[in-house]
Structure 1
Amino acid sequence: MVRDQGRGADRGAASAHEGEKDASSGRVVREVNVLEDEGLRRQMTLGSLAVGAVGCAVSLAWALAPGPSHEGVGPAWLLALTLVSLAALPVHELVHAAAFRLAGGPGTRVRFGREPGMLTTSALGTVLPRARFTAVLLAPMVLLSCAFLVVCATLSLPLLGWWLFVLHLAGCTGDLAMAWAIARTRGATRVEDCEFGIRLLA
């Protein structure tokens, strides 16, 4: 299940369970549980905080840098940041859905849902090659983040674009955690979307 941010927890003994279980779609090399793995939840929270800290540091350096004045940060600026960030949440899920359909074919059944604090997109039971599944995970982060930067730069609002980028990236830590798990699990050739996250299959 593709999730922007997840609650994590240790399911049994390990958060990202590594083992060799049999499944109808292949041998399970690893499971990444973004709903119940507490260790993974802490990592994602720390990742979001780190992104926010970098965003603040860059903004401070930006404000202190010599040069022409930047856009004013006032009520209208903050309102735009809030509204666009909220609108980006369902758009993010729609991009996941489109990527699932492109990667898995028109027969792929995509479902939308909601968990506390997040929206979700899933195609339960869908098995894709690792590269395609990684593309599904990262598509919204790349496309929306680039769109924020380019559009706001065109409107002469680079600081607004930067903070839209930062907030969106901070909300993508679940996607990044699953993509990182896929990248470092060399023995897995395919990935299955499941109810708690992903299964990496040999």
Structure 2
Amino acid sequence: MPFKKLHPEIKEKLAKLEIETPTPLQRKSIPVIKSGMNLYCTAPKGAGKTTTLILTTLQKLKCEAVGDAPRAIILVENKEKALEILDQFLVYTRHTSLRPYVAHEKMHIDLQKSEILEGIDILISTPKNLNKLFLLNGVHTSQLKIFSIDDADFLIQQTAYAALLSITQSVIKCQYVIYAEEMTAKLARYDSYFMEYSKKISLS
């Protein structure tokens, strides 16, 4: 059972939330993500993709703050989704030292840069905004462990697709996990860029 092998603080939080049994998606995907492999994770709405993203991010970061540079990046479609994900993260990080942070187009880029440089662990952002931060050297990726994309179906938009390719060219090495409702030809193209040797898990 994947939950049995998670960090003690995660298991404690799951117990408080009365979440005892992993979903079929979590049972399949959590061990693969823990192994460090790049992964495409496709499943319908309600299968537990976002919760899987949160649990595996906390596991990778061992539920504690370290250094100043982000060790996890979460890419989302828009500001609303970013704030929604932040709220879900806060349920799990409230009694840890982890520092999640949201950055989006409506915030002044210089403010984002200065706040990120003060020290964060988890950066949640949109492709366009994150690419802008990268181009302005506003994010250091030397400590990056995991880069996840939530509900990646939005990457069908050419601007988001191109921004992600630009971002990943600046990352020397980390694990990538893409969550989507279905595997598309456009997502499969990432195999040629940053998703090499990736595994695919799908629930229909």
Task: Give the TM-score taking structure 2 as reference length.
Answer: 0.26
Between Structure 1 and Structure 2, the one with more strand by share is: 1
Between Structure 1 and Structure 2, the one with more helix by share is: 1
* Larger relative contact order (CA 8 Å, sep ≥ 6): 1
Radius of gyration: which is bigger?
A: 1
